[in-house]
Each structure stands twice: as structure tokens, then as C-alpha cells.
Amino acid sequence: MQKKYVFATAAVAGLATAASAQTRLSHNLEETVVTAGAGIACAGGTPQTTTDNFWSRSFTLADYGVTEDFTVSSVEFGVENLSLPTVIETTITVDLYEVPAGSAPLAPVGAPLGSASILTTDRALEIITLDIDGTVSAGTALMVEVVSEDLQALGGESSGNVFFIGGNSFGQTAPSYVRSAACGIFDPTDVADFGFPDAHFLIIAVGEGGGGGGCPADIDGDGSLTIFDFLAFQTLFDSGDLGADFDGDGVLTIFDFLEFQTQFDAGCP
């Protein structure tokens, strides 16, 4: 008998810009909240078990005012439900690719420009920030793909092991995409085509223009480092703006101030 897999939602019991320090490439109008029912995955079996899944978004650099090469320092992605009743842990991987400007995500050809993984166990309704390094060329688009292991292969076809990427339904400026060989979807496909128009995956890239160069501490962008950059950093920090997240961990702490001060003292190239 031929196995049948379908895309399913997890069982439940803007485009943003930042200060000159870092640029956030995001299509989510709400970037901090993961809600139930907004993540999908190819799954089958009883109890439901997820297979291979590749979730992606693409970001045309020019849409974010980036006119130079862009170097990614971290990627944030949502987790709606990661439940592993029969295995200890699983690996989630983030891969970076370069695609043409204006292009939707494409089936990858060749090695990624950057890749990072996390070995993790059960999680729910949270956002993971993963440090990663990769540079895409000016005038192109960055494709970010979040990759799940085939949990049927890892733990059994009806083991109940599942990973559903996280997202929300609060709006997006471009579609979310998924592919899965088990579901017969070999190219990234808009999830709205499967009947999930409100599944807006949280996949956000953070980095800098100029191939990692430039002068992030020059927050006011006047080409020199002055007291006004300190004041601009403080304003960002006090308002909770992640433009002040100089250590790239996704939260604002004293370590961001220390890293800003280090970069300020080092001066502009």
C-alpha cells in the first residue's frame, strides 16, 4: 500500500528595519509572537509524525535599503511544537543561499553560503536565535531555509515525534514557503497553495551591509563617532529596539552596551 502524507498543522491541547548597527530582514508584521496553528509540516502516521521538511523565505536586499553585499550574523526562527516522545533530541539546521533579486525561494543547487545547526529537545511557542555567517552579493536576494530531520526515519513512522515551525497570522509582506519529498513537493511552494494562507513563518535574518564591514557604531550615520552615537544607542536600547542588539543574541542586555563601546573605541575603518 502506498503511504500517504499530507501537510498538517500542529495538534494544539513587516517588513522591519533597524538602525545602522544591524539590518533585520523580515516579512513578519509581528516578529516576537509564536501562536498555535500557524506552523505546518509534512506529516503522517498515527500518532502524527513529521517527515522531512524545509521551510523558507527570501529577502531582496534592495527592499531593505541594502545596496552592498550583505553578511548575515544570525537567524531567528519560530518553534510552534517540537515534541520527541521516543528520541532524545533532534538537529535543526539553518542554511543560507543567494537567489536572484525578486525571486521566491528556489530548490537549492550546490552548497549553502552559510549553515548552522542546533541540537535540541522539546520546545514550544518560542523563537530560537542561531548565530550563522554567510554573505550574499549586492543586487540579489537572501534565501533562508530552516531544515528539519525526517522524524519518521529517526524514530519510527508512527512514533509521534513532531517538529512544526513557528509563526503567526498577524500579517506578512511576502509568502512563506515549504518543500518536502515525502509530500511530493520538491520545490519551495507558497503554503497558501495548500490552504494555509494564515501560516506566516517566523524566519528573520540579521546582519550588515558591506560584507560585514562598515561602521556599526556610527548609529547616526554621519560618518564619524561622536557623543551623538552614544545618545542614539541609548535611545534604541531604552525603547527596546533590536538595532541596539550589538552582540546579536536577540535580547538587550549590558553586553550590548559593552560591545557597542568596544566597537566605538575601535573606530571606523
The string of DSSP letters for the chain reads: -----EEEEPP--------TT-EEE--BS--S--BTT--EEEEETTTTEE--EEEEEEEEGGGGT--S-EEEEEEEEEEEEEE-SSSS-EEEEEEEEEEETTPPP----SS-SEEEEEEE--EEEEEEEEEEEEEE-TTEEEEEEEEE--HHHHH-TTS--EEEEEEESS-BSS--EEEETTTTEEEEEEGGGGT-TT-EE-EEEEEEESTT-S-TT-TT-SSS--HHHHHHHHHHHHTT-GGG-TT-SSS--HHHHHHHHHHHHH---
Cα distances (Å, whole numbers) of residue 245 to 25, 73, 95, 258, 259? 15, 12, 22, 11, 9
0.85 cut: is pTM over it?
no
What are the average pLDDT values for consecutive 10-residue runs of the chain, which has 269 residues? 56 38 90 94 96 98 90 96 97 97 94 95 97 92 98 95 97 97 96 95 91 65 79 87 74 86 80
Cis before residue 105, ω within 30 degrees of 0?
A: no
d(CA 85, CA 99): 38
Sign of the Cα torsion 18, 21, 26, 32 reads negative
* Predicted local distance difference test score (pLDDT) of residue 11: 52
Over the stretch 40-59, which tens digit does the pLDDT of each residue have? 999 999 999 999 999 999 99
Would you list the domain boundaries of the chain? 6-208, 215-266
* Predicted local distance difference test score (pLDDT) of residue 113: 93
* Predicted local distance difference test score (pLDDT) of residue 269: 61
* Predicted local distance difference test score (pLDDT) of residue 221: 65
